[in-house]
Amino acid sequence: MNPDALRGHMDALLLSVLEREPLHGYAIIEALQERSAGALNVPTGTVYPALRRLERTGYLVSAWDTVGGRRRRTYRLTDAGRRQLEGERSAWQAFTSAIGSVLRPEAKPSGSA
């Protein structure tokens, strides 16, 4: 998948992956790959700065944990992060609806004759 296609959607993807359970960075990358059936291969250089930014905004909190005998920073969604995720989902639905209306010219927009 074209990395430019992810621009503007990374926050929603990360928040969504963390909705179910707290995860460490590498597990987040694996979850993105798994949930996208391998289509999303996001580099660590993209994921970790985004996680730190989401933590600064209050959408995530992190703590050091031992996972598989290794010390790793684990990220968890906050209540503000859950609210943001819902907003991101609504925005995504509106976006895909608008783009779909253009890409499927046979579908007439609501309110047109």
The token pair that represents 81 in the structure block: 């992060």
Mean pLDDT over residues 79-108, rounded? Answer: 90
What is the CATH code for 3-89?
Answer: 1.10.10.10
Q: Is the pLDDT of residue 37 over 90?
A: yes
Long-range contacts of 55-58 (CB under 8 A, 24+ apart): none
| Mean pLDDT, rounded, for 11-23 | 96
Domain assignments of the chain as residue spans, ordered by start: 3-89
Order of strands across the sheet that contains 23-24: 23-24, 70-77, 60-67
Integer Cα distance of 68 and 80 in angstroms: 29
Token pair of 37 as six digits: 């059936």
Angle at 63 between CA 61 and CA 67, to 5 degrees: 130
| 77 or 69, higher pLDDT | 77
Q: What is the pLDDT of residue 43?
A: 87
